[in-house]
Every structure is written in structure tokens, then in C-alpha cells.
Structure 1
């Protein structure tokens, strides 16, 4: 129905160009609308130099512009951008920011309470003023942020699956950057919201590297949430990715635990109606590896209790919550410092958890991603066609298969 309304509105606007001014004004008058989260990159604390993985960003930016691309899921008449200083110990001062409707398009300046810049206090975020830039579903836009003063980078999103760029000076008004340096991390921007019809709503997917898109093709929007967004956009549903590589359910990992960040990354998202939970494999597999050498593996009861907490909190906010089974990982990460990520005892716990998810867990619905991706001849392994090659993360075909395994009816009417 929402798609038909959009088509009818588009036809009326087209017709108005050749009819009377009064008809044009009537056609342009918007109906009921609200703000809906359409894109997200969950913030993480920047880790120190001794961590297993490099950050991919400098320690400080000074008189530099950061440009990144984001493919929104649902379009709208206006947009606004959310910037974060979640883990900073000093204010982040934005000198200027802009949005371009596509790569190479002229950027349009953002404002903050009518001003070109803003200061974001430590531990807080800041939303730009609404920008009258109409967008369509699945449109890729560019966002630039200029920081004039020395700015220590303490908040980021490590695995953006998109090439971003750092360039000297204030280039927020430039269609093309000069003298830029690439990175795949994201800085400053953590969300995009659009003004959409009143019936539009958001689905948040909270998870780890499998949701974050760790091995999806760079710059090609091949995460499983990207494919799910393409399926849901015609129904007026946005999909926002709250995955953090190295994320866990119960404990902090390469970001806060799902329990800790559920309020911020899920329940506080504008227009959220449903959440999909795909997290837990790092809880099971990190203990005993270089990530958490001395940590004890959680019990099945502890994992179940963690899921129940998320369910209770979602229901208390009127949010529908969908669980997902954990996918196979036998032989994971061979030839790396984490080649002990898999062990038979770990997989036994995964299968016990999956059995509970399928039969007893109090989710509103469960998506069986384990069944969708596993090798039919060996249920402990990913099917070769869906394996990225590291035996843990799905490749592009696997990401598509995950999205196609979701019965859209789980999101309700």
C-alpha cells in the first residue's frame, strides 16, 4: 500500500508541472510524516596500538575533511545526520559539514541550529538541522565533515565496508576531493534519518562482524542487511545495520556488548518497530583465543539469560524482536592468530543454543540462518558456495542467502 501511495504521489507531482499553480501547491503539500532511521554505523571506542588489529585511522585530525559514502535504505523528503562523540574525553568541534546526493554531485551544506558548525560534548551526539534534500530508496549519498582544530579520534566505526577519505583543509563544498588518503573506517557520522510517510518504520539488525559485513565486497553494498533493505524498502521499511565486528552479547568486545548498547543502537532509533538479533558466536569462541585468553566460556544458561534481557527490553518499548540462529564456523580463520577460534566444544554450545532458539526461546519469531548457510553434508561448516573462504564469514552469495532466508512476515503488518 505504501508503495502505491508513493507512486500516486509521484504521478501527481509530475502532472502538476503542466497544470495550474494551485494544483502544483496541493500536490506538493506533504501528508502525515515522521522521522525514521534509514542508516547506521554503531560507534565504537578507538582501541590502543597494542590491539590485534590496526585502527586504520590517524590519532588526530587537524584542518582536515573526512568524506564517507552511505547507502540509505529508505528515502524521504528531508534528511538529517547524526554525529557522535560517544567515547570522547573532549568536545569534537565540527567546522562545517555537507551532504551530496551522489558521488560528484555538488555538496549541500548542513547546519546545526542554523549555524554551519557545532561542538559535540564528550559522551554525546548531535543531530543536524533537517535538510530539504529528497532521497530515494537505496540511494548512496556522501557526507563530509570538516574539523578545523586538532581533534583526537576516540570514537569510530572500524569496519565500514566502504572506502572513505581524509583530505587537507575544508573541502566540504568540493564535488571532488584533492590530495585525499583512503580508509575503510568511519568517523563522526553514526546515523541518517529521513522524513518518511507515517506508515514507514525501521528494522534494526544488531550483531557482530557477520552483520557488519566483514568479508562482503568492499564498496558494493553486499552485507546481508543491504540485501534485506532491498527486499523491505518497497514495503516502507528501512533496515539499519547495528553490527560491530568483534561484537558480543554479554561482554564488551571490539565495541560495547549488545546488552550495553541495545538502548542506544536499537531502542532510541527513530521509527524502530522491529529488531533482529544475530549475536553470540564471539561470546562462545573468543575465550581461549588471543582476544580473551583467560576468559571463561559462557554457559548456555548465561547466553539464554542475555537473550531474555533483550527480549524483555524490546517488548517494554513495544518493539518486535526476532532471533536468529548462529551460523556454522568449523575450521574458522585458518592461518591467522585466531585459528583456535573453533573447537568441537564451542560448536556443541552453538548447536545447543540454536536448538533452544528454534524450540523454546521467547522471541516473537526466529530466522534459521544456520539452516540457510550450512553445508548439507556437514552441519558444522558453511556451505562452500556461501563461504567467504575464512569459514566463519559468508561471502556475497552467503549474505544474499541470509537475506532471502528471512520471511518478511516476521516483521508484522
Structure 2
């Protein structure tokens, strides 16, 4: 009896989702889709070392592996052409269970459709969701998404600092089980902006970690899923989806031509576009402080001296946007950066002022003290030595675990 009830619920969810599969996803109550993975696309992703961003693809298959934070009886993928200069023509796509590297498990390949067709076009500036894929997945399953572009795409919409390997093959290899054709690789993601699962819960069940490189997972082990949002998902045990909406180098007050629009400007696309969002954890501002102190060239411009009040003003915009959609906001204190390439005494003063406001303003629904979690007890302006990979700014794998451990799960 229980199985038949579940089958009816899943079928109803799929029918409802299928009717709007190409619509822009939005935060909504349960009974439809829940986000289980995501990446924030941005202009200038070639900064992170991938020539594929500027040259795009031409009769290529692009294979990408993602780890899902919660499971479900069916899933869909979302593609973004947010920064494309022409319509994106996708010849076809598949999803499969990951084996090792670019190989997938035999018998697991499923072709993806869009309004019943294997091929589709994503308009300039748009995002597109696939039809439901009957592909049951447990929490923390790795799935491989392969996209094939028979023609020239032009410059690619991408996420630069993925800390995960993506592969490319010449020709149509979307259904290949073997990795042999995938001879090229980078550590960026291309066009893939989200994976959702059918959500049968009676409540919203997605947490979005929103921030810069410390959320993005810079300096964590490549292909190991040890960013702090990954570790947080593990602590949650698959009960809630966790989406990583970090962009390395991102700021609160100013845009960057290489590291994304400022946080308030990208909040709608990178947080509110995910379905079923319940809570957002906001951790951003250290780059606003640091970029003010040095000349990073075109990617760091504009870089006026930014005050604590200006950063706080950006936080207030994000909090208001979240509250308007009924989303809780958890504020994360800015982590230590003594010894980092852009650290100064003035910058440390701004960081302290921002953190004091985060802790005491009452503007957030809750606060997570990331600063305290990773600071050196002997010098609280610096990272603990065992958490410092050497750049004095980003935590290492152990530091990201400490950050995830600092989150009170009841606040989510």
C-alpha cells in the first residue's frame, strides 16, 4: 500500500513538473521540485584557466560530474545561457551514474529530453529545465551529465573555479560508458546550473550557501567534494538539499568583469531561481575589503575604498530580497585573513566592524561564527595553522569541515 501511494505521489509530481519543465525555476512549496545541486554561472570564467570558455564548443561532448546533496525518485537538469552571445543549440544530453573519472556505470545512461525532444535551444540570457528523468538517486550519489553540441556554440557560459574536473571529447560521445574519448579536461563547469529531484516533503527543503571563494571551495581537494557546503550536506544526512552558490572573487558592493556581478545583483538568479529554497547562508565581503587595498588589474576594478557601512548596506539588500520570498537568512562572519596577499591593518579594521554588526545587529534569523571556527586562538586575526593551506585566506579541507561543524543545524 505504501509503495502504491508513493507511486501516485511521484506520478503527480512529474505530471505537474512536466507541464512547466521549460519555465524559469522558482522557490516554491513542496510537491514539485527541490534543488539538490547547483553552480553559479558568471562572465569572465576564463580567468580560472579554461580556454573552453572563450573558444566555446564545436562538435564536442562535454562531460561533468556532480554530487547530489539529497536523493529523490526522479531528477531534472537545468542549463544556463546567462552569459551567451547567441542562442545555445544543444544536440543532446545524457545523465548516468558516475564510475571513475569520465567513465560511467554500464546500463545507467539515460537520454535527457526537453519538451519531449532530445535537442533544444536555450535563448540568450535564459535558463532551461529538462523534462523529468525517471532516475532514482540516493543522497550523495555522483551523477555524470554529458552535453553534446554538434555546431559551434560561441563563448560558453561557465563557472570558473569548480574544484572539479570536466572532460571534453570530439564528436558525439554522450552515451559512451568508457572515458577513452574524453582526452581533454579543465576544472570549470559549463552551462550546467542545477540538478533538481522530485520533492515529496510538505515543506521547503533547500539550503543555499551564498558567497565567494570560501563558499566556492578554493584550496579544497579537487574532485573530493570537501567544500564547506559539501561537508554541511553530509552533516544534514540528505534531509535538506544544499546548493553551493559561491563565486571565487565575488564581492558585495562592486561587480567584476571576471568574478561575477555583485552579490545583491546576482541573488535572484543564483538563489531565488532554485526551487524549494528554505534558508540562505550569506558569507561574503572579504574581497570587498581586500580588493580595496591593492591593484588586481581589470578583473579587480572598480576597487574604491569600501567601508563597513557599504558592505552592510549590501547585506541589507540581500536580506530584504530573501525575506520578500519567505526565505530565512543566516549570516556568516568573515574569516581571518592576516598574511593574505591583500591584507592590511585598515582592512582588518573593516572586517572587525562588519563582524561586530553581523553578530549584534539582529538583522539575521541566525548567525554562524565562521570567524571563530577557523581563527588561531593565539592570534584571532589569522587562520589556525592546521587550517591554512598556505595562502592565509582560504581554509583547507580540515578548515572547511570546521566551518560546516560550526553551523547549528536547527537554524536551517
Note whether the superposition's TM-score is higher than 0.5: yes
Aligned 1:104-183 pairs, distance under 5 A: 104-105=104-105, 106-179=108-181, 180-183=183-186
Q: Secondary structure at the residue paired with 2:189? A: coil
Q: Do the aligned residues in 1 keep the contact of 2:376 with 2:382 (CA within 8 Å)?
A: yes
1:267 shift after superposition: 1.6
- Which is worse superposed, 373-382 or 300-309? 300-309
Q: Is the 8 A contact 2:63 2:168 kept in 1?
A: yes
Which residue is equivalent to 2:86? 90
TM-score, structure 2 length as denominator?
A: 0.88
Aligned to 1:217: 221
Contact 2:85 2:155 in 1 (8 A): no
User: Would the alpha carbon gap of residues 214 and 188 (structure 1) be closer, same or farther in structure 2, given more than 3 Å must change?
Assistant: same
- 1:337-381 residue CA offsets vs partner (Å, 9 max, x unmatched): xx3x11111011101110111111401111000000000010110
Whole-Å separation in 2 of the counterparts to 1:110 and 1:128: 7
Distance 1:324 1:379 in 2: 16
In the alignment, the residues of structure 2 paired with residue 395 and residue 301 of structure 1 have an alpha-carbon distance, to the nearest angstrom, of: 30
**Structure 1 residue 47, shift from structure 2 partner:** 5.3
Question: Are 1:317 and 2:319 an aligned pair?
Answer: no
The residue that corresponds to 2:356 in the other structure is 355
- 1:293: Cα distance to partner? 6.7
Partner of 1:189: 192
Tell me, yes or no, if the aligned pair for 1:56 and 1:184 is still in contact at 8 Å: no
Whether 2:213 is the aligned partner of 1:237: answer: no
Q: Is 1:67 paired with 2:68?
A: no
Matching residue of 1:303: 311
Q: Max radius of gyration: which structure?
A: 1
1:235-274 equivalences under 5 Å are: 236-253=239-256, 254-274=259-279
Residue 30 and residue 342 in structure 1: after superposition, are their counterparts in 2 closer, same or farther (change >3 A)?
same
The answer (yes or no) to whether the contact 1:367–1:405 under 8 Å persists in 2 is: yes
The structure, 1 or 2, with the larger RCO (C-alpha pairs under 8 Å, 6+ apart) is 2
Q: How many residues are matched?
A: 379
Q: Is the 8 A contact 1:46 1:55 kept in 2?
A: no
- By how many angstroms is 1:63 displaced? 0.6
Structure 1: where are the runs of 5+ without partners? Answer: 1-8, 14-24, 333-338
Could you tell me which of 327, 330, 334 is aligned with 2:338? 330
Q: What is the alpha-carbon distance in structure 1 between the residues aligned to residue 302 and residue 83 of structure 2?
A: 26
- Give 5+ residue unaligned stretches, structure 2: 14-30
Which residue pairs with 1:389 in the alignment?
390
Q: Distance in 2 between matches of 1:193 and 1:286?
A: 35
What RMSD in Å do the two structures reach over aligned CA positions?
A: 1.7
